[in-house]
Structure 1
């Protein structure tokens, strides 16, 4: 019999406010991030009320990790101290490597309508935390999409999607943590069994519909819940009524994680240095 990835935990996002008052659901956060390593935070923002998002995220610093922003609806404008300017439209992705330091703003480019998407924080290994910052906008047209023989649409943002004879590299490949980020659209009655290498931390965030996870028992998971799975075994997903799911996987760094707001380093001393650098205008 096949060995399936075991379900280690189910987590529910909590209402939160960030930036200048943007309302969101914080799915991954907190003092104990080791179970999610190499991922540090996952936020879902979704509102058609401009009062929930219009103030946006004015200029703020980061150091020590990468941010991945994936837009589903609406428009968001990025500007940073390096002179980068970008506009995220529906389906676009922004991949920003804060590394040694970046100061940027993320502001809605709309006065009404729905703003919906995700931001994921991905840790950097200790050796890269003080490397050069980088920024990349990826238009939706440059992000591979495919439909599996089982009828599941897959948006391959990062890593490589594999199932059966399918081998589709994504828009982004990253060393060390080897992140996999797929947006799975499961129509009613569909199934999918993506191949993921053993040793990778696997998270599934159901953001629409109901997902069924095949393991030792069939687990049914509704929207708004995150599944944390074991690091080995097969993964078989299905949905009787349809679902949309973010599949997030990466190789754990297994290094100390010390976070203070927008700074994520390996020691308290490094975080204190980040604070001194920011206050002294030497973050970058």
Structure 2
């Protein structure tokens, strides 16, 4: 909110930028309009924005005038931002933006978990490499086993609660990361009620990215 009247425009290039609104709502702008003009996206709870930054894009966060008029200044939102590298052959593609609403993201029940697919089978969102991003919630706790391609690298990020992960049953809790080892599935056990986590996994490019501030070359 304190940035509502500030210029937050900044550049990015070389990766897919995925912004997922976990709770609350937010606004963002990006120079993917005609001739590089700024477009604005309003993200409601459960929706996401994917920006393929490609050869370069300008990005900005901030509330719009209509939202300020609605009194949204001072409100809170919680979100996750994923940076997913692009292969070198795709570094110079034209930047694009895609807004996906909550209802467009597949939801399924597996074990004791509700699983919403942000990236993966049934989702309209794709990355530059095969991959999955899942929002997994065990409202009553319990266990779930999730298939993961054996060729993927991945990790789990705990949003809420606590659970045991993998064959070695490593325990992780809120704001911690569990890195996936080799295998074809992720086993989750002894989850506390209200446990929620993000699973992100994908096929490596076999290239070494060069990190340069807001750029991934």
Task: Tell me the TM-score normalized by structure 1.
Answer: 0.67
Summarize the alignment of residues 110-149 of structure 1 with structure 2, pairs less than 5 Å apart. 110-148=72-110
Q: In the aligned structure 2, how far is the partner of 1:88 from the partner of 1:57? A: 19
| Cα distance, 1:57 vs structure 2 | 7.4
Contact 1:157 1:182 in 2 (8 A): yes
SS in 1 for 2:42: strand
**1:79 partnered with 2:40:** no
Summarize the alignment of residues 1-284 of structure 1 with structure 2, pairs less than 5 Å apart. 50-51=1-2, 58-83=8-33, 84-108=39-63, 109=67, 110-148=72-110, 150-160=111-121, 169-175=122-128, 177-215=129-167, 217-242=168-193, 243-265=195-217
Contact 1:186 1:238 in 2 (8 A): no
SS in 1 for 2:161: strand
Q: Deviations over 1:6-39 (max 9, x none)?
A: xxxxxxxxxxxxxxxxxxxxxxxxxxxxxxxxxx
Q: In the aligned structure 2, how far is the partner of 1:248 from the partner of 1:56? A: 33
Q: In the aligned structure 2, how far is the partner of 1:214 from the partner of 1:100? A: 38
Unaligned runs of 5+ in 1: 1-49, 161-168, 266-284
Unaligned runs of 5+ in 2: 34-38
| Cα distance, 1:263 vs structure 2 | 0.9
Q: Deviations over 1:265-284 (max 9, x none)?
A: 0xxxxxxxxxxxxxxxxxxx
SS in 1 for 2:9: strand
Task: Tell me the TM-score normalized by structure 2.
Answer: 0.86
Q: In the aligned structure 1, how far is the partner of 2:43 from the partner of 2:73? A: 15
Q: In the aligned structure 1, how far is the partner of 2:178 from the partner of 2:191? A: 18
Contact 1:202 1:231 in 2 (8 A): no
Matching residue of 2:36: none
Contact 1:200 1:251 in 2 (8 A): yes
Contact 1:187 1:239 in 2 (8 A): no
Q: Structure 1 pair 264/73, CA: closer, same or farther in 2 (3 Å)?
A: same
Cα-Cα RMSD: 1.9
Q: In the aligned structure 2, how far is the partner of 1:214 from the partner of 1:253? A: 24
SS in 2 for 1:58: coil
How many corresponding residue pairs?
Answer: 204
| Cα distance, 1:55 vs structure 2 | 6.6
Matching residue of 1:38: none
Q: Structure 1 pair 147/234, CA: closer, same or farther in 2 (3 Å)?
A: closer
